[in-house]
Structure 1
């Protein structure tokens, strides 16, 4: 999951990229499409040896340390005290609650359906923005209504109906991630660039590890030691590709592509996650759940079109 509201506003002022940027843009898009789309399966595979909050905590702490070290080596400005405070709040919401609950949900529900449920984050962000005084346009409102209808259809399916705990986890994850997204672009901004992402990952990782310790997950992790090779490879994939490479690609898209291009992965990730989950993990998706996925993604598309139309008039 990424900061959709930031993506829709941060790239507005950039002109169309020159042709020489095209190869890099394609590589960045492929990273966001396929890497982020595949992280849901990687989370599921890593759960064999790494409990949910322990997995996410070690993942983001490791990635945060590596990214902050890169920031120091490059001589970039480090976050100030207020920015660290903001990172603590945003990291707690988006990573501590959001990603921790996503991993917990995958204990009960297929990774592809979870990715589809997470696609409603732009809908929730728009709804929270409306509460904070950002009145949505007609097309955005229609997208929110359609997305809500799709979610109601999705949770009626057999996969969610059979796992109420998983449904509660993913609903909490999307709510906390959406709230963190809105706050990070309105009242609690992070430090700019990689330093901001690194501080968020460090703070969020620390919160995740505290929750893991409170839940006693370290006993579960020790009982599965040594970790299975597949789980270790999945964890490493999440650190290197999911948390470092894909985030870097996302930052590049924000600076060099239009908002529609930068956020287009929101339509692609669920489809990739569903196919990977079905092919590699034997996850089953019913016809009704496929229909619900289509309704949700159509709602997200309408919201993006509405936001693009609004920004074009500014």
Structure 2
């Protein structure tokens, strides 16, 4: 059995789910854009997690995990539902009203920074120098991708600023949820059960927010909208969140967030296939440099003394 203290992103039990999550989440950004065409973002988020919570409960049952949490577990589920499934997604969906999905995805690649800092502050997780070298290289690549996406946007400067601020809110909310997942008390809870209840709380919070801010629910009857809800709810949530948070629990939030470095490159690749996206020299250089940073960071291992035990 592989020593968990030596786990890195290149360990098979980490690498395969890491790649699956990046591929699926790389396709969600384009779908999210279509979700906010006529439906207020909060209601689209609510519909997504209605589907996801049902799917996660079914998955928990299938995998033999309990469907109920202890009372203290509901506190953590509520915190996760608020940070990840309410605040994060409302920030992201609203950001795409003002800037391109490519720009939002690119900015989200910076999730590794608050994850690493908060992980160090609250969890005591240390990281090897190669992680910081890889992060610095990846940031250069992300900066080039950001410039490329910014130049391609027709939006005004004020819209761009507002979209960027919303995206930063989403990054910080997601980072809080990532670090929460790696806390010892939360690791003691069954992951699928915790996620199912967090999504249920997310549905309730989003519904309350929707009624308070935009009024009665609005639904788009277009087949593409309904297929998008299913894709985001099942593949984009039920399949990916257990894999991603499993990675967070295994190697920490800092290195797990490197997944967000791959996502914009995957999104651009899918856009090339399905939307006719044309790679510029700037975009190609940014993507290559970001991937180089990822490869360098992949060599970093989780120090044994910094690991947070699951029990």
Q: Name the TM-score class by shorter chain.
A: 0.7 to 0.9
Of residues 209, 212, 217, the one that matches 1:211 is 209
- Superposition pairs of residues 36-115 of structure 1, within 5 angstroms: 36-72=25-61, 76-77=65-66, 78-115=68-105
In 1, the alpha carbon distance for the partners of 2:233 and 2:191 equals 18
1:112-138 per-residue CA deviation (whole Å, 9 max, x = no partner) reads: 332232222223211222334444432
How far the C-alpha of 1:173 sits from its partner, in A, is: 0.7
1:136-160 per-residue CA deviation (whole Å, 9 max, x = no partner) reads: 4322233344444555555553357
Aligned to 1:305: 299
Of residues 170, 181, 185, the one that matches 2:182 is 185
Instruction: Name whichever of 185-194 and 81-90 sits farther off.
Output: 185-194
Instruction: Name whichever of 183-192 and 44-53 sits farther off.
Output: 183-192
How far the C-alpha of 1:174 sits from its partner, in A, is: 0.9
How far the C-alpha of 1:43 sits from its partner, in A, is: 1.1
Q: Which runs of 5+ in 1 are unaligned?
A: 1-8
Residue 270 in structure 1 maps to residue 264 in structure 2: yes
How far the C-alpha of 1:98 sits from its partner, in A, is: 1.3
- Superposition pairs of residues 1-314 of structure 1, within 5 angstroms: 12=7, 31-72=20-61, 76-77=65-66, 78-132=68-122, 133-156=124-147, 157-158=150-151, 162=157, 163-186=160-183, 189=186, 191-216=189-214, 218=216, 221=218, 225-247=219-241, 266-280=260-274, 287-306=281-300, 308=301, 310=303
In 2, the alpha carbon distance for the partners of 1:11 and 1:36 equals 27
Please give the TM-score of this superposition, normalised by the length of structure 2: 0.74
Instruction: Go from structure 1 to structure 2 and tell me whether the alpha carbon gap of 1:59 and 1:135 turns closer, same or farther (over 3 Å shift).
Output: same
Q: CA RMSD in A?
A: 4.0
In 2, the alpha carbon distance for the partners of 1:277 and 1:232 equals 21
Instruction: Name whichever of 34-43 and 133-142 sits farther off.
Output: 133-142
In 1, the alpha carbon distance for the partners of 2:288 and 2:114 equals 17
In structure 2, the residue corresponding to 1:119 is in which secondary structure? helix
Aligned length: 290
1:145-195 per-residue CA deviation (whole Å, 9 max, x = no partner) reads: 444455555555335784111111111111111122112212661622311
In 2, the alpha carbon distance for the partners of 1:70 and 1:189 equals 19
Please give the TM-score of this superposition, normalised by the length of structure 1: 0.74
Verify the 8 A CA contact 1:144 1:299 in the aligned structure 2.
Answer: yes
Q: Which runs of 5+ in 2 are unaligned?
A: none
Instruction: Name whichever of 98-107 and 66-75 sits farther off.
Output: 66-75
Instruction: Go from structure 1 to structure 2 and tell me whether the alpha carbon gap of 1:95 and 1:296 turns closer, same or farther (over 3 Å shift).
Output: farther
In 2, the alpha carbon distance for the partners of 1:297 and 1:42 equals 24
Verify the 8 A CA contact 1:54 1:217 in the aligned structure 2.
Answer: no
